[in-house]
Every structure is written in structure tokens, then in C-alpha cells.
Structure 1
Amino acid sequence: MRETNMYSFLLPIVLLITTAAGALAVRSRPLGVRAGFLALLVTVPASLLYWSGTSPLLTGDTVPMGPEGHWLRALGIVWWFAAARLLALIVDRILGHDEASREARITSDLLCAAIYIAAFLVVLNFVLLLPVNGLVATSGIMAVVIGLALQNTLSDVFSGVAVGIEHPFAVGHRISLGEGVEGVVVQVNWRSIRILTDGEDVATIPNSVVAKAQIVNRSFPTERRATRLQLVRPAAESPEWMMHVLRQAVLLCPDALETPAPSVTISSLGMRSTTYAVDFFVAGSSMIGRTKSLLLLHVHRQLRYAALLAEDEAGVGEEVDPRAGTATALVSQITLFDPLTEAQRGDVARQMKRRTLEEGDLLFREGAEDDRLYVVASGVLEIKRAAGNGAQLLIGRIGAAEYIGEISMLTGAPHTADAAACTRTVVYELSRDVLSPLLRDNAELTQAFEQSVQRGLCLAERAVATQAGAPSAGPGAILAGIRRLFGHGATPAGARRE
């Protein structure tokens, strides 16, 4: 009898120790192994309990009150805690299965805590038959005392729960909290969230403040951002003309999205000044500043040359060709002509021919041979290349004081893209016949052209035109073509001439 009582005490203890050791052993194992182990701990004790005529609640008269019932009560303890752990694992998998969710575990942690507390109380009351009324009452009093002492902290915790349930953002999203803080959420915890600002600072915001703030999620449903640029211009300028120039400037900004389409409006009209607003979208917040800066640059350039054209039109009929002023200004902006003297630049400008294109007109077609350099005075040229499926691929756009066609002019290679006006555009043409004598007599000018081709015209204002005008031949073939067209004058500066 004594040996039976000893086994009645030892067997439950061995069962509980073995179960705890197994749980610790699989703790670092993959999810499937842990879930399988827990499912085994749920299935086997439940089967044994039902086979003994009871359930995990240990109801019925078949559960002895003495040592003989310790074995069944140990099975009940194993079942409840294994079931609680398995349910918590499922909740954690559903609510916190990715890296972002693991940084914001408020909701899943609360649910898991509630599951464990409920299992603990059930074990005390139904399995071990211990009264829990006094424990619950004492816990309530302690909760009131702790709540009064930790009001602010608890406010942050419950605010975090509310924000977690509503889920207005996730880790990795860019958010704005009113007008105070904007940045990328890097962590969400029980008391606060942490935001990495654009200044590479980490701002810690209490959850109670987050819950009361106006939250704007910049990353959902898309990271696309709308922005506005306002310009104040003299009221004497024609609003239609100014809006036309601003539309051209927006077209020249590659980061300004075409969909939704940009818009130019008049936000205020006064006696002395007019305020214009340019609204457009960019792909992400990091592009706003860069795109605004580029837009201002293009606005300045488009206004400058549009004003020169307006002055030229006003002076038509004078003895001196008024358009020479615009051509000279354009030539002075092109780095290729820096080696020329002022007189030579003026002579080149006088021999340039003006051409006006309406929207949709072709300047040149892909595959066509050409011997002219084209300089844009105003408007926007769109460069497109055949995509192979009947459609055309947009390579880019160029505007005032930018040029295109120089490689075809220098080498005789056909154009590899179409160039068409996407607004009303004024261009100046410079033929190869005008340029040939200068290249033969000016080694520095020749070197400038060769270096421009050799570097692939890597200057910022030439990036688009390079893609449109460069032939498929390598740099060596291009330089050979230049020397072939212009003879010994194309020998690079510093090289010996025979």
C-alpha cells in the first residue's frame, strides 16, 4: 500500500518534469516541430482523461480526491498549459508572423497573456480544486493600487492597444503626426512608437499622444505623394503665357509622375502680382525636395528663353535680325562651343535657322540620316524609341538651352529615336557645313566634341539627348567617324599632325 502511494506521488511529478523538459528542448526548434510537440501534449492527455471517464475539467465522480487522483490532475495540468501554449502560438503566428509585426506585438502579447491567465485560473479552480475568489478579489485591489500609481504608463499601454487594433500604420510605413513629426516607423512597443525622421533622428512618441494625433500614412495605400509649388509673378505677365511655360517646366521633370496628371492653376490674382500653383505627384517622399528644385530650375530656364523669344518677336522688321539675340544666348549656354571666341559664337548664331514646331510635329524620325544640330529655344521635345511591339518607349524630354542630334551630325549615323514636340516648340538648326571649318581650324573645339562623345555626354543637361542620339557603334567607331568627316582637323589637341 505504501509503495502504491509512493508511485501516486512520483508519477505525476515525473510527468510534469518530463513535459517541462520537452517544452524547453523544442523551444528553439522550427515552428512545425513546436506545434507538433504541443499537439501531442494536447492529444495524449485528453485521450487518457477521456479513457478514465473524465475530461480536462476533471468533472464527474471518477476523479479520486486522494493521492490516487494526482495522476489525473497532472494530466489535466499538462493539457491546459499545452492547449494554452498552442493557442498562443497560433495567435502569434496570425498577428505577428513577419518582421514588421514582430516589432509591434502589443495586441498579440495581450491576447497571449489573457490566454495564459485564463488557463492558470482554470487549473487552480477546476483541476486543483483551489478557491480563487479570494485571489481574484485581492488581484482587483492590487490592480486598483497599481493603476493609480501608473496612470500615465497605463494610458500609453491602452492607447497602444487601441492603435494596434485600428492598425493605421505598420513598422516601415512613413507617417506624419499632425505638423510635429514625420518619418518612418521603426518600432512599436507597449509604451511608445519610434520614428526615424528625415534628419536621421529617432523620435520617441508616447502611444497616448499617437492616439490623439492626426495620423497621415504616407505609405498606404501607395507611397506616391502629392506636392505643390507656388510662384509669384508680376501681374503684367500674361497668365496664359505663364501657365504655358509652367506646364513645359513640369514636363521636363522626370520625377513628376504623368498619372495623375500635373496641373497648373492660378491661386490668386492681384493688381501687382499673380500667384501660380503647380500641383504634381512624385513616387515617394524622398523625391519631393529634389523635384521641386529641378522644377524651379526648369521654370527659370523656360522663362528666360521664352522672354528672349518674346523680345525677338516684338522687334521683327528691324534692319538687324532680332532673332540673333536668342541664338547667341543659346550658343553661349552650350558647353561644346566654349572654345569659340565671342565673334565666332556670334557668327555661328547668325547662321542658325529658326524652326517652329506645333504639338505633335516631328523634328526627326528614328532611322533618318541628318547633318544638323538642333538647339531648343523654348518648348519641350519628347524623345521616343521603338519598343519592338509596335509601341514607343519614352526615353526623356529636353527643353530650352538643350540640344540634340550632334552625334548624327558628326558621324553621319542615323538617328536611333524619334524627336517630336509635345508642346509648341522653337528650335534653332545648325548645319554641318557651318561647323566643318571651325572643327578643321580649332583643335580645342574638336577636342571638346570628341570628349563630349567619349564621355557619353555625361553632363546632367545632356543625359536624355545622349540616349536618343547615340548610335549603336562603340566610342572608337564614333571618334573614327568624326575624324573621317572632318579630316586632319579632328586630331585631338596635343596629338602630332603629320
Structure 2
Amino acid sequence: MSFPAMLADPAMPLFSLGVIGIIVWHLIPQARANERMLVELVFFGAMTLALIHAHLAPLSYADGGARDVNALLLTSAKILWWVHLAWAIIGIVRLYLILNGKPREARLVQDLIVGVVYLGMGLSVLAFVFGVPIGTLVATSGVVAIILGLALQNTLSDVFSGIALTLGRPYALGDWIDLSDGTEGRVVESTWRSTHILTAESNIAVLPNSVLAKLVLKNVNRPSETHRMSVIVRIAPTRMPSVVCDVMKVVLSNSRTALKEPAPLVSLKTLDAVALEVELQFWVSSISQRMAAKNEILDLVYRHCKSYGLLLATPSDALVAIRDLPTEESAEPPPVTPLQLIKAVPIFQSLDLDEKKALAEAVIVREFSSGEVIGRRDKPATNLAIVRSGVISARMDHEEIARLAPGDYYGGAGLFVDTEEACTLEALENVVVYEIKQQALAALLAERPALTRTLTSALSLRGQQSPKSESQTTSDARGGRVLLSAIQSIFRG
């Protein structure tokens, strides 16, 4: 066929529009999606008008038996028309199929629809351009699909479950999830086939999506990262339940890891001749604080029970005779005298008994009411005071940096130099402290230089600790203070 004859072919305008449309479409940057879609719609409309003008039917197969350039040109023109139709539909899908606030899900749905569009375009080209019997092809492919489906049913199940999980979004990367099979951890990776969970033991648990989709999933990070915890303690019924509740409320108010909002709760569970079972409910800022919070609460329960004269009950499965159980009349609070404190402090271990008694006789017992200021930041702290009972709040620049419980201490920084208190101290509950005056130690320190060095070292170690360090949750955390660790031992004896 001559070139002029080829130009006169009715399919030539259609073919030319198709090729030019592809070139223009690729020249427009992907970021300008609106312009690409408009250009595609314009070229598709022009190609459709060219088809109608040339009396060509793209939705029917017509085989004239010709195998020359005209037939090749017509075939190419029809293929280009189907391609531009598919691209026009895809452009509309990309622009207008939007899920508000869910870009990942929207992209997934768009990709699925685009895949269906391309599949439909391919089948249409086979049927209407090349005359392939689609019915037979679909039947054959159906048999093949069944065979492949049976062979890959587990893989396909994982893939479709992954799609369902992606659309539902019960979790996101970084969320802490708790599954009904006992698996618990943070989601670190999610693929079409599986989800990877970093457990508390620093192991990676890989769960197939088909398995994960069947489990009951609890997302600890939603609607917020705050997590409720409960600790159950058993107290011997030697005091009225209301007194026990008040002490447990002091425990919760003393905690630094338990949030103040929502407010902690104290619930009486059961009461019998053996024990009063109390549940302490509180919230922590994140799931990672669970262990620290539980350790702190148990430590504070022990301290305040010792301080207020409460006794821990025997285990529920222990065999104890009723006559051996403590009662309100027979139970006595554990004595914590100044002499016992002096005996418990390691820096005073080198003293003989008479020296310890003399030092204990010089101890002053001081009491503070709730809300009373115990010490101010701008005043020298020359005395060393040990908290006997109650809760003390330590504030710096109107910000609470610590809460002192029974066994904690404050002051002492000015025993050897005129040093001001590092923070303001305020009683949150009625507080009793044992205070050791500077003068009471003067004679002993003069006779025992080694004792001076030991005491200075202990106070220096305490002063080096940052007031804004992470909440000290257990006696071990507070045990970094040499003197404090020794003082706490009296509450464990």
C-alpha cells in the first residue's frame, strides 16, 4: 500500500490520536493528576468521534480476512481506543475515589479497581479485537484457578486476610496489641502474608494474617495509650475496712507512675476471718509502665502497711488455725523507734550500743498536718529527717519532682556546709518524721573521722541524683541512695 493510500485509511486518524495521546500523557508530570485526566478524557472523546465517523465498531469483532497494512492499522487503532478507555477510567478512580482520613485504605481500593480495569481491558481486546472466544477462555482459566486456589489456599487466605486487616485497620505500626491466644507485643511490620509482633521478651512473633484475622484482638493504644491496671492485696482484718481503704488511698496518692486522671480507685473485694481483700485500680501513661508501676505500688503497700500498723494476710491456700490469726485486739503495729532506725543505718554500725542510744535520745519526732509546708527551697537544710509515716511532695519551680514515702529521707545537705534545700517540701497527708539535729552528731563526728567521711559520702551520693530523673518506682530504685537503703530495712524487719 502506498503512503497516500495509508493516510486516507479511515483508521489512520484514530491511530494517530491514540499515539499522540500516549505521548502527551507521558509528558505531563504525575503530580499534575488533574491535567493528565483531562487530557486523557479529551483524547478518548476524540478517538470515539473518529470511530463513529469511520463507521468502526470497537465493541464487535469483524474479521474481513485481510492481513495487509490496513488490517494491522485497524487492529492497532482499536487496541489504542481500549487503552485510552482504561486510562480514562483509572484517572477518574485515582482522583475521586477517596476515603477521608484513610489514605492507605483508599490507595488499596484504588489499586484493586485499577487491576480489575486492566483485566477487563485485556479481555475486551482479546474478544473484540482478536476474536478470541472469551467464554472458553474463562472456563479454562476457571479450572486452572480452582487448581491453583487449592494448591495456594493458605497463601491466598493470608493475602485476603491481610487485605481485610488493612481495610479494617484494627492496629497500626507501633501499636501494642493483646491477642486471645496469649500473644502480646508491639506491631513492628505488617505484610500481605503476615504480621510481625515484637514481644516483651524482645522476640519477633510472626503470625499469618489468616490466623490473626480469627483471633480476638485488643489494641492497648486505642483510644489512648493510657492503660488501666489492678493490684490485689490481702490485709489481715485487724483494722476497720474504712481504715484499710484510707491507707490504700494514701498508697495510690504516693505513687509517681500512677496517673492522677483518671483518678485511682480502691475497691473492697471480700472480707472474712482470714483476710480483707482489696483491689487497687489505677492508670499508667503507657503499656511500658506496667512493670514499674506494679513494683512501685507493691513497694508502697508494704511501706505504708508497716507505717500504719497493718498486717499482710496469709495466702488464701495456706493452712492456718483460726486461733493463730491476728485480731484487732491482739495485733500490734510494728514498732519503729528512733533507736531501731539508728541500728538499721549502716553508717552508724561502728557505734557501740551506748552511743546509739545517746544518738536516739537526741532524735526529735515532728508531726505535720496535710498541706503544711515542711521545708522551703530557699532555707538551709541542716537537719536530716526520716519519714516515719505519711506522704511528702517535693516541688521545684511549682513542678512536682518526687513523692516521699515512709523510709525516704530529706535534708541533711547542710550538715557540713550551709546548703539550701533543693526543693520545697509539702505534706500531702498527716506526716510524722524523725529528725536528727546537727548538734547531736557533732560530738560523735569529732571523735570518729571515719564516720564523718561515710556520712559525707552518703549525702553526696544522694545529692548527685537528678531531681527530674525517672520516677523511682521501687525500693531498689531508691536504693541507689546508700543511707536510704539502710533506713528502709527497718520497714522490712
TM-score computed with the length of structure 1 as normaliser: 0.72
Distance (Å, rounded) in 2 between the aligned partners of 1:86 and 1:218: 39
Specify which structure has the bigger relative contact order, considering alpha-carbon pairs within 8 angstroms and separated by 6 or more residues.
2
Q: Which among 30, 37, 40 is matched to residue 34 of structure 1? A: 30
1:376 to 387, 397, 404: 387
Question: What secondary structure sits across from 2:463 in the alignment?
Answer: coil
Q: Could you list the per-position Cα deviations for residues 358-412 of structure 1 after superposition, in whole angstroms to 9, with x for gaps in the alignment?
A: 32122123433453222100111011233xxxxx211211111111111245433
User: Could you tell me which residue of structure 2 aligns to residue 191 of structure 1?
Assistant: 193
- Whether the 8 Å contact between 2:386 and 2:410 is mirrored in structure 1 is yes
Amino acid corresponding to residue 401 of structure 1 in structure 2: G
Amino acid at match of 2:45: Y
What is the CA–CA distance in structure 2 between the aligned matches of 1:438 and 1:114, rounded to whole Å?
Answer: 91
Q: Which deviations, in whole Å up to 9, do the C-alpha atoms of 1:147-173 show, x marking residues without a partner?
A: 444444444333333333322112221
1:415-426 mapped onto 2 (5 Å cutoff)? 415-426=421-432
Query: What do the CA deviations read for 1:226-284 (whole angstroms, capped 9, x no partner)?
Result: 11111123233443343333333333332111111222222111221222211111122
Match of 2:292 in 1: 290
Distance (whole Å) between structure 1 residues aligned to residue 159 and residue 221 of structure 2: 25
Q: Deviations over 1:113-138 (max 9, x none)?
A: 33432443455556777664443444
The equivalent of 1:441 in structure 2 is: 447
CA distance in 1, matches of 2:221, 2:307: 39
Equivalent of 1:217, from 191, 216, 219? 219
- Residue 289 of structure 1: CA displacement? 1.4
Counterpart secondary structure, 1:172:
coil
1:273–1:96: structure 2 CA closer, same or farther, 3 Å change rule? Answer: closer
Question: Partner residue of 2:169?
Answer: 167
Query: Are the counterparts in 2 of residues 91 and 112 from structure 1 also a CA contact under 8 Å?
Result: no
1:412 aligns with 2:418: yes
2:433 partner SS: strand
**Aligned-partner SS, 2:30:** helix
Q: Paired residue for 2:207?
A: 205
The gaps in structure 1 that reach 5 residues or longer are 27-31, 315-321, 387-391, 467-498
Letter in 2 for 1:189: T
Which of the numbers 303, 306, 309 marks the counterpart of 1:307?
Answer: 309
Aligned pairs (5 A) from 1:80-479: 80=85, 82-83=87-88, 110-124=112-126, 132-307=134-309, 325-334=336-345, 337=348, 340-386=351-397, 392-458=398-464
SS in 2 for 1:212: coil
Q: Cα distance 1:330–1:249, how it changes in 2: closer, same or farther (>3 A)?
A: farther
Alpha-carbon distance between aligned partners in 2 of 1:84 and 1:50, rounded to the nearest angstrom: 13
> Are 2:394 and 2:424, in contact at CA under 8 Å, matched by a contact in 1?
yes
Q: How far off its partner does 1:93 sit?
A: 9.6
Q: Structure 1 pair 250/343, CA: closer, same or farther in 2 (3 Å)?
A: farther
CA contact (8 A) 1:255 1:287 kept: yes
Q: What SS does the aligned partner of 1:34 have?
A: coil
- Structure 1 residues 106, 441: CA separation in 2 closer, same or farther (over 3 Å shift)? farther
The answer to whether the Cα contact below 8 Å between 2:343 and 2:356 also exists between their aligned partners in 1 is yes
Quote the residue 1:2 is aligned against.
2
Distance in 2, matches of 1:97 and 1:15, equals: 35
Residue identity matched to 2:373: L
| Residue 324 to residue 180, structure 1, CA distance change in 2 (3 Å) | closer
Q: Deviations over 1:273-316 (max 9, x none)?
A: 2222111111222221122122222222222333399xxxx9xx
Q: Which has the higher helix share?
A: 1
- Tell me how large the CA RMSD over aligned residues is: 4.4
Q: Give the unaligned 5+ runs of structure 2.
A: 63-69, 312-328, 473-493
Deviation at residue 183 of structure 1 after TM alignment = 1.0
Match for residue 54 of structure 1 among 18, 27, 49: 49
| Percent of aligned pairs with the same amino acid | 27
In the TM superposition, 1:61-76 aligns within 5 A as 61-63=54-56, 66-67=70-71, 68-70=73-75, 72-73=77-78, 75-76=80-81
1:405 to 1:70, Cα distance in 2 relative to 1, 3 A: same
Q: What CA distance in whole angstroms lies between the structure 2 residues aligned with 1:60 and 1:14? A: 14
Residues 217 and 105 of structure 1: CA distance in aligned 2, closer, same or farther (over 3 Å): farther
TM value normalised by structure 2:
0.73
Letter aligned with residue 423 of structure 2: A
Partner Cα distance (1:330, 1:462) in 2: 28
Q: Tell me the distance in 1 between the aligned counterparts of 2:154 and 2:224.
A: 35
Instruction: Give deviations 1:160-206, integer Å, cap 9, x for gaps.
Output: 33333322112221111114211112233333322221122222223
Q: Cα–Cα, structure 1 residues 82 and 442, in superposed 2: closer, same or farther, change >3 Å? A: farther
Return the alpha-carbon distance in structure 1 between the equivalents of residues 295 and 406 of structure 2.
17
Structure 2 letter corresponding to 1:439: L
Task: Give the CA deviation at 1:73.
Answer: 3.1
Matching residue's letter, 1:194? H
Asked whether the equivalents of residues 47 and 81 of structure 2 are also in contact (C-alpha less than 8 Å), the reply is no
CA distance in structure 2 between the aligned counterparts of 1:290 and 1:168, rounded to whole angstroms: 28
**Corresponding pairs, count:** 437
Query: Aligned with 1:258: secondary structure?
Result: coil
1:199–1:282 Cα change, 3 Å: same
* SS of equivalent residue, structure 1 residue 435: helix
Segment drifting more, 107-116 vs 194-203: 107-116
